[in-house]
Protein backbone atom coordinates (compact mmCIF):
# COMPACT_ATOMS: atom_id res chain seq x y z
CA UNK A 1 0.00 0.00 0.00
CA UNK A 2 1.49 3.29 -1.10
CA UNK A 3 -0.22 5.46 1.53
CA UNK A 4 -0.55 3.76 4.95
CA UNK A 5 -3.64 5.81 5.78
CA UNK A 6 -7.08 6.01 4.18
CA UNK A 7 -9.01 9.22 4.84
CA UNK A 8 -12.78 9.56 4.32
CA UNK A 9 -13.74 13.26 4.53
CA UNK A 10 -17.21 12.33 3.22
CA UNK A 11 -18.16 10.87 6.61
CA UNK A 12 -16.81 13.64 8.87
CA UNK A 13 -19.55 14.95 11.15
CA UNK A 14 -22.04 12.17 10.37
CA UNK A 15 -23.93 10.52 13.23
CA UNK A 16 -23.17 6.82 13.65
CA UNK A 17 -26.14 4.48 14.03
CA UNK A 18 -24.16 1.21 14.30
CA UNK A 19 -20.56 -0.03 14.30
CA UNK A 20 -19.95 -3.73 13.66
CA UNK A 21 -16.90 -5.92 13.04
CA UNK A 22 -17.42 -9.13 11.09
CA UNK A 23 -14.98 -12.01 10.69
CA UNK A 24 -15.46 -13.91 7.44
CA UNK A 25 -13.34 -16.94 6.51
CA UNK A 26 -13.34 -15.98 2.82
CA UNK A 27 -13.10 -12.19 2.89
CA UNK A 28 -11.33 -11.53 6.19
CA UNK A 29 -12.39 -8.87 8.67
CA UNK A 30 -14.88 -6.16 7.81
CA UNK A 31 -15.61 -3.04 9.81
CA UNK A 32 -19.08 -1.72 8.97
CA UNK A 33 -20.17 1.75 10.06
CA UNK A 34 -23.84 2.60 9.41
CA UNK A 35 -24.84 6.25 9.58
CA UNK A 36 -28.19 7.72 10.59
CA UNK A 37 -28.67 9.26 7.11
CA UNK A 38 -28.89 5.80 5.50
CA UNK A 39 -25.31 5.59 4.23
CA UNK A 40 -22.64 3.16 5.37
CA UNK A 41 -18.87 2.75 5.20
CA UNK A 42 -17.46 -0.75 4.86
CA UNK A 43 -13.74 -1.39 5.33
CA UNK A 44 -12.43 -4.90 4.61
CA UNK A 45 -8.95 -6.00 5.59
CA UNK A 46 -8.15 -9.08 3.54
CA UNK A 47 -5.68 -11.85 4.19
CA UNK A 48 -3.55 -10.66 1.27
CA UNK A 49 -2.89 -7.45 3.17
CA UNK A 50 -5.14 -5.31 1.02
CA UNK A 51 -7.67 -2.76 2.15
CA UNK A 52 -10.92 -2.32 0.25
CA UNK A 53 -13.46 0.28 1.28
CA UNK A 54 -16.78 1.41 -0.10
CA UNK A 55 -19.23 4.10 0.87
CA UNK A 56 -22.86 3.51 -0.08
CA UNK A 57 -26.49 3.86 0.90
CA UNK A 58 -27.81 1.11 3.20
CA UNK A 59 -30.68 0.27 0.88
CA UNK A 60 -28.34 -0.15 -2.14
CA UNK A 61 -25.06 -1.64 -0.82
CA UNK A 62 -24.20 -3.03 -4.28
CA UNK A 63 -24.17 0.50 -5.74
CA UNK A 64 -21.31 2.29 -3.96
CA UNK A 65 -21.09 6.06 -4.00
CA UNK A 66 -17.32 5.49 -4.13
CA UNK A 67 -14.80 2.70 -3.58
CA UNK A 68 -11.13 2.71 -2.68
CA UNK A 69 -8.60 -0.08 -2.95
CA UNK A 70 -5.01 -0.01 -1.73
Strands of 66-69's sheet, edge to edge?
16-24, 28-35, 39-45, 51-57, 66-69
- Asked whether residue 18 is domain-assigned, the answer is yes
Is 49 part of any domain? yes
* pLDDT score at 34: 97
pTM flag (> 0.75) = no
Confidence label for 3 from pLDDT (cuts 50, 70 and 90): low
Give pLDDT, residue 19. 96
For residue 1, is it within any domain?
no
Q: Which range marks the domain in which residue 48 is found?
A: 9-69
Residues 6+ apart with CB under 8 A from 52: 43, 44, 46, 67, 68, 69
- For the residues of 8-69, what is the DSSP string, one character each? -GGGTTPPEEEEEEEEETTTEEEEEEEETTSEEEEEEE-TTS-EEEEEEETT-TTS-SEEEE
Q: What is the pLDDT of residues 55-70, one digit of tens each?
A: 888 998 888 887 777 6
Mean pLDDT of the chain: 85
- Summarize the confidence of residues 18-32 as an average pLDDT: 87
Q: How many domains does the chain have?
A: 1
**pLDDT bracket for residue 1 (50, 70, 90):** low
Amino acid sequence: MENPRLVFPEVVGKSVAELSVYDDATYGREVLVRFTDGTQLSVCVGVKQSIDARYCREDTPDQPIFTRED
